[in-house]
Structure 1
């Protein structure tokens, strides 16, 4: 859930959340809810996307196929 607040982000995140989903459509859903796509990464066989919420707090989404 994304909730707008009147106070702007004033510094680095205190917490950085990493989310995992087995559904590739989750990235599109988060963007539709207001998240901003910042960058895509591919390191050590893992791919993830860094996003920011409406306040600029960054978080990652890793999409993994269910095993």
Structure 2
């Protein structure tokens, strides 16, 4: 239950605020601050957030 709640929260963050979330993880993953991301990366993060939310809702509906 707690894991699904955490996943739902992460999915909501990705859908609502993809740029700060992606930028945060990219700053952790890279040593150089000169990384420029392409605009589609933020769209992909939003799609990932929607898929996470759908997964959480689907698992909830199944009663697991």
Give your verdict on TM over 0.5. Answer: no
TM-score when scaled to structure 2?
0.26
User: For the pair shown, which has the larger CA radius of gyration, 1 or 2?
Assistant: 2
TM-score when scaled to structure 1?
0.25
Q: Highest relative contact order (Cα 8 Å, sep 6+), 1 or 2?
A: 2
**Which structure's residues are more often helix, by fraction?**
2
